[in-house]
Chain A
Amino acid sequence: MSSRKSKRVTATATALAALLAVAGCSSKTGDGEGDKEDAGGIKTGVGVSAKTIDLGVLTDMTGVYATLGKSVTQAQQLYVKQINADGGICGRKLKLTVRDHGYDPQKAVAAYTELEPEVLGFAQFIGSPFVAAVKQRVDTNKGLVLPQAWSSNLLGSSYVRVIGSTYDLETINAIDFLMKEKGLKKGDKLGHVYFEGDYGESALKGSQYMAKKSGLTVVEQKIKATDNDMTAQVAALKKAGVKGVVISAGPRQAASLVGVAAAGKFDVPIIGNNSAFSPQLLGTQAGPALAKNYYVASPTLPIGADTEAAKKLVADYKKAYPEDSLDNGVTAGWTAASVFGEALKRACESKDLTRAGVDKALLTIDAYDNGFGVPQNFTDPKAPSSKESVILRPDKGVTGGMKVVEKPFTATAAEGYTAGG
């Protein structure tokens, strides 16, 4: 018995010793991939091999942003396909690795952890809370992230760069439009219906700032993403006697708000943020009311814009995905992918395809326009890449269901606005 026991103890001890010895052979030892230099004198690092440049896409195709996620991802895949057909960037093909997190924080963080050691950066990351969750890590590993979220909370990092104006700036521009064109004036009341959460609260910051600047009073109506019937909100706003309404919610809420207001002869201009519209709404009962009294502020020209780039994108996208509708997501995805592509091209010119090299290259982009009318400036990490907005209105006859009523502009109040104060 005792000899057997001691044998066992020896065996266990040996096993432990062997284990520690084997740990030395673990692939995790040492720092693994350092920056290398290839034959052409180009410095490369994580996510870049001799033949490919790996980019990550963290999207939502099964959760609350499913429609947006699908359009954005398909547009980015289209961009990559076209770039690769033209020979790629720096002699390397682009490769997207897509992970669908379904707006679940656990899956999103897990997917980021999985892809981060393998990709150069992320061309898409949906869900600003999740971007915020990994922000600390992004700041240490320096892999560029282009979030598909326009919250001012995301500003301030050199490696998380918001493309286009944030919701607060967009709301300021939207109210500016109502004041200039739609007869909203000092002393008036302005209704603001907004989603609980990041998006709505970011937009609310904008309307509060604008109210202070222009002597308006904001009548707030906070709603949840699950509230689809805006009857109560319309009644409250009508009672308060507002002269205009801003809606920072989803397409369904916007349709309900506009439809109910029209039915109740509550005839004030209503303007929404860019997420508060989808072309499918025009086919619903609220369609005529939307076409009459609804405006949308957007960070870029719509997909149906009258520019060469937009027309080409529409044609290519229709060819690649004939069954899917053209919406804002397509423009947003395309813009993000092409900004990343532009940064890669510049990084290639300076022979540095490492993460640091790409970050540096992005900081040199000061007026990049991919054909959607708004120049993007990435030289200041504390500011979004543009402060401009375009005002659109629904129109059944146009591709994407939106036509431009006000060319890209920045409200004077927005010039002096910073997200912090």
Chain B
Amino acid sequence: MSEVLARGRELRSRNRTRLTRPRTYVWIAGVVLLLALPFYLDRFWLQAGLFAMAAAIGAIGLNLLTGATGQLSMGHAFFLAIGAYGYCVFAGDGEGGLTGLGLPTWIAAALAVGVAGIAGGLFSPIAGRLQGAYLGIATLALIFIGQHVLFNAHDLTGGSNGRDVPPLSVFGITFDDSELVVAAVPFGASEKLWYAGLVLLFGCGLFARGVLRGRPGRAMNAIRDHRIAAGVIGVPVARYRAGVFVLSSMYAGLAGVLLALVFQRTVPDYFGITLSLEYLAMIVIGGLGSVAGAVAGAAVVSLLPQLLTRYSDALPLVSAPGTGGITPGEASRYLYGAAVVAVVLFLPGGLASIAARRSRPKSGHTPGEEQ
């Protein structure tokens, strides 16, 4: 009884403190900053940011699967490809001998995510039964099958040269390069997509947070930590595993759609094993099992190479391409590898654990709580 009262008091006080906590203001400032960026940054930065947002959505999905449920997947790139190409097929107008259904683009985007989910569902009999590294090996097969199909199913994928991505169009706004002037700033594709990306990322983040903090999240963590114990306390292990796999494929599909929209062209080379490994690196660097970690990791992994290439002229030890020595491309790979090793050695919880460590002594949250 007294426990319930105490909890109620705590809740009320938490609501009150929410306005006085500095964290709230950091959030507000962050959101305002993100909303304002398209007015100032040029296309390169916006595009880099969009790549990071798409990667973040995909990484959140993978983190649900690998971080929270402990199921290793090497096939994430396959589902990204399904999202990207699915969108092109549903939205394309069938020109140039490529299959295109000519659906309204927002329906196409939703269908592409659905198809990625269905593909995940088809794989779920396997995903539900295998665990850990075994699932990793099984999903590896998806990459090879996917690459073969992407290169050879010409009518659907356009073969090695890929196919054009029709611009998204929602509520009468078309997300292409036709200029729209807002507050005297011309808005092209990147500026408009920036907001679409933010909305999608925010929605995906919230949803995943809800899943992780609720009953399913606890069940998933239980499966990760001790599969048999989870089964004994009544968690339907196979069903949960299969379900998480489908959910994570849908996240990947959405990330694929967003990526395709940013690229304006889908290219099969992109959806290879390297991409899958990059996504795994993102969640390791960011922190396994948390939404914030996935976002942070995605930002680091997708921005680092682009920054290094851009500022290669000014960096020490990195020489201009063509003069011998370490080129920026190589340098970013070294750094990237070093980052993974450093995180595993010194920050086993990933970047997200820095934030958690700082807030823990003050608010007294239990360490298990993640966001």
B28: contacting residue among A12, A132, A201, CB under 8 A: A12
CB of A24 within 8 A of CB of B184, answer yes
Complex Cα gap A65–B19 (Å): 56
- Which of B196-204, B230-238, B261-269, B341-349 lines the interface with chain A? B261-269
Among residues of B, the one whose C-beta sits closest to the C-beta of A109 is: B263
B44 touches A113 (CB 8 A): yes
CA distance A240 to B329 in the complex (A): 45
Q: Report if A28-B321 is in contact (Cβ < 8 Å); known contacts: A103-B269, A106-B270.
A: no
B160 at the interface (CB under 8 A from A): yes
Are A136 and B183 CB-contacts (below 8 A) given A23-B36, A73-B322, A102-B329?
Answer: no
Chain B residues lying within 8 Å of A12, measured Cβ to Cβ, are 28
Interface centre among A107, A128, A151, A198 (most CB of B within 10 A): A107
Q: Which of B318-339 contact A (CB under 8 A)?
A: 320-322, 327-330, 333
| B contact residues around A113 at 8 Å (CB) | 43-44, 47
Q: Give bound CA distance, A402 to B19, whole Å.
A: 76
User: How far is the CB of A390 from the nearest CB of chain B, in Å?
Assistant: 27
Is A99 engaged at the interface, CB distance under 8 Å to the other chain?
yes
- Which positions 99-149 of chain A face chain B at CB distance < 8 Å? 99-107, 109-111, 113-114, 117, 128-130, 132-134, 136-137, 140
Per-residue contact bits, chain B 267-308, to A (CB 8 Å; 1 contact, 0 not):
101100000000000000000000000000000001001100
A100 to chain B, nearest CB (A): 5
Task: Map CB proximity to A onto B40-62 as digits: 1 under 8 Å, 0 otherwise.
Answer: 10111001100100000000000
Chain A residues near B51: list those with CB within 8 A.
106, 110
A100 and B329: CB pair below 8 A? yes
- Contact, CB under 8 Å: B322 / A132: no
**In the complex, what residues of A have CB within 8 A of residue B162's CB?**
129, 132-133
Residues from chain B with a CB closer than 8 A to the CB of A137 are 177, 264
Q: Which chain B residues lie closer than 8 Å to A20 at the CB level?
A: 183
B370 contacts chain A at the CB level, 8 A cutoff: no
Task: Give the docked Cα–Cα distance between A15 and B185 (Å).
Answer: 19
> How many Å lie between the Cα of A5 and that of B24 in the bound state?
13
Asked whether A16 is an interface residue with its Cβ less than 8 Å from the other chain, the reply is yes
User: Are B184 and A30 interface neighbours, CB within 8 A?
Assistant: yes
Judging by beta carbons under 8 Å apart, are B44 and A62 in contact? Answer: no
Alpha-carbon separation in the docked complex, A140 to B177 (Å)? 9
Taking CB atoms, residues of chain B closer than 8 Å to A114 are 44, 310
Residues of B within 8 A of A106 (CB): 51, 263, 270, 302, 306
Task: Assess the A62–B151 pair: CB atoms within 8 A.
Answer: no
Contacts of A5 in B (CB 8 A): 19
State in angstroms the CA–CA spacing of A74 and B327 once bound together: 14
Q: Among B19, B44, B267, which residue has its beta carbon within 8 angstroms of that of A105?
A: B267
- In angstroms, Cα B203 to Cα A146, docked, is 42
Candidates A62, A110, A117; contact of B47 at CB < 8 Å: A110
Docked CA distance A20–B306 (Å)? 29
Is the Cβ of A201 less than 8 Å from the Cβ of B160? yes
Say which size band chain B's interface belongs to.
Answer: 35 or more
Cβ–Cβ contact B44 & A26, under 8 A: no
Q: Point out the residues of chain B lying under 8 angstroms from A27, CB to CB.
A: 40
How far, in whole Å, are A113 and B330 apart by their CA atoms in the complex?
21
Residue of A nearest to B324 (CB): A323
Distance in angstroms from B58 CB to nearest chain A CB is 13
Q: Which listed residue, A8, A30, A74, A101, touches B322 by the CB 8 Å rule?
A: A74
A63: chain B residues at CB < 8 Å are: 329
Known: A98-B320, A107-B305, A132-B162. A28 touches B329 (CB 8 A): no
Determine whether the beta carbon of A23 is less than 8 Å from that of B183: yes
A355 at the binding interface (Cβ < 8 Å): no
B314 at the A interface (CB under 8 A)? no
- Complex contact B310–A23 (CB within 8 A): no
CB distance from A265 to the nearest CB of B (A): 34
Using known A-B contacts A110-B48, A201-B159, determine if residue A23 contacts B267 with beta carbons closer than 8 Å: no
Does the CB pair B160–A28 fall under 8 Å? Answer: no
The answer on a CB contact under 8 Å between B161 and A128 is: yes
Return the CB mask of A321-358 against B: 1 if under 8 Å, else 0.
00000000000000000000000000000000000000
- For residue B39, CB closer than 8 A to chain A, the reply is yes
Considering the complex, which residues of chain A in the window 29-80 have a beta carbon less than 8 Å from any beta carbon of chain B? Answer: 29-31, 59, 61-63, 70, 73-74, 77
Contact between chains at A99 and B321 (CB < 8 Å)? yes
Interface residue? A19 (CB, 8 A): yes
Choice from B39, B185, B322, B330 contacting A98 with Cβ under 8 Å: B322
Name 18 A/B residue pairs within 8 A (Cβ), A-sorted.
A26-B40, A28-B185, A31-B186, A61-B322, A61-B327, A62-B329, A77-B322, A98-B321, A100-B328, A101-B329, A106-B302, A109-B47, A110-B51, A113-B47, A129-B265, A130-B267, A133-B267, A198-B159
Report B's interface with A, CB cutoff 8 A. Answer: 19, 28, 32, 36, 39-40, 42-44, 47-48, 51, 151-152, 159-162, 164, 177, 183-186, 263-265, 267, 269-270, 302, 305-306, 309-310, 320-322, 327-330, 333
Query: A-B pairs with the 3 shortest C-beta distances?
Result: A133-B265, A197-B160, A62-B329
Can you name 10 extra interface pairs (CB under 8 A) apart from A28-B42, A101-B309, A133-B267?
A23-B40, A73-B321, A98-B320, A105-B269, A107-B329, A110-B44, A129-B162, A129-B265, A133-B265, A197-B151
